[in-house]
Amino acid sequence: MTPFGARLAAAVDVHGPLCAGVDPHPALLEAWGLPDTVAGLERFALGATEALAPVVAALKPQSAFFERFGSAGVAVLERVLATAREAGALTVVDVKRGDIGSTAQGYAEAYLDPGSPLAADALTVSPYLGTGSLQPFFDTARAHGAGVFVLALTSNPEAPPFQQAVTAAGQTVAGSVLDHLRGLNAGEEGPLGSFGAVVGATIGRTEEDLDVGGPLLVPGLGAQGGTVADVRRIFGPASRLVLASSSREILRAGPDPAALAAAARAVAEDLAALRDVA
């Protein structure tokens, strides 16, 4: 069983460090000429997945835009994950789950156990019940060769009072999350660990050591204002670990499949230089 980090490194070598979002936002459905219904959701999400899965390292469906349609929407998410898997693309479900004990274990099994219809290669989680509360996610990921991305430094304006608060140990909350990930990846084999951090491309600057030995999922590229130059400046030598996420910039090129694929390739080409950072 090949760990997620190794599989991701191989996919990035082929396609570049791009994770394309599959975000069926109502405005994007409208832009594609689709109704804001389950039928519109399915046409959008599967159309985007079929066009993008062959040309990107990973796809990142945003669960919220599926869940708002209830069980029918979740069923579409299941089909998106299956379609991406059949095309050979890695998947990161953006759900930002976080809980304790058996509940955390239940979430972990839902998204990381291959026997689940919602199984993905990785998921996003929130550490704000304590990094120790995430252990079921880490253990389940290891058992199935999956990955976990932990929120660390997000770019929303409400984040700094929490993420940059200083703990009793004298480091920031974000710093403690990054340290925890470094420890998890220290025992991982292969070119890249399987446990990564979520760090926004629009955070401005940080004094934190962003090299956690695993991938850095970096949202905010494109429509949200983040640029490749921003990534180079913020991440420095850790730029080589970046898996940049772009959603609206690519999805606005749809619904034509060729236009979607071309948009993704263009973003991936811009990002390719990040892999050369020492």
Kindly provide the b/e burial profile for residues 244-269, where b requires at least 16 CB atoms within 10 angstroms of the residue's own CB: bbbbbbbbbbbbeeeebbebbbebbe
Catalytic residue among 25, 79, 85, 96: 96
| 96 classed as catalytic | yes
Contacts of residue 219, Cβ cutoff 8 Å, sequence gap at least 6:
21, 155, 198, 200, 201, 226, 245, 247
Residue 65 CA to residue 22 CA, distance in Å, equals: 9
Residue 249 CA to residue 197 CA, distance in Å, equals: 23
The 10 Å Cβ neighbour count of residue 209 is: 13
Determine contact, residues 43/231, Cβ cutoff 8 Å.
no
Angle between helices 38-52 and 71-87 (to 10 degrees): 10
- The helix or strand, by DSSP H or E, that contains position 259, with its residue range, turns out to be helix 257-271
- Tokens (6 digits) for 208: 């934190």
3-state secondary structure 145-164: CCEEEEEEECCCCCCHHHHC
Which residues form the catalytic set? 96
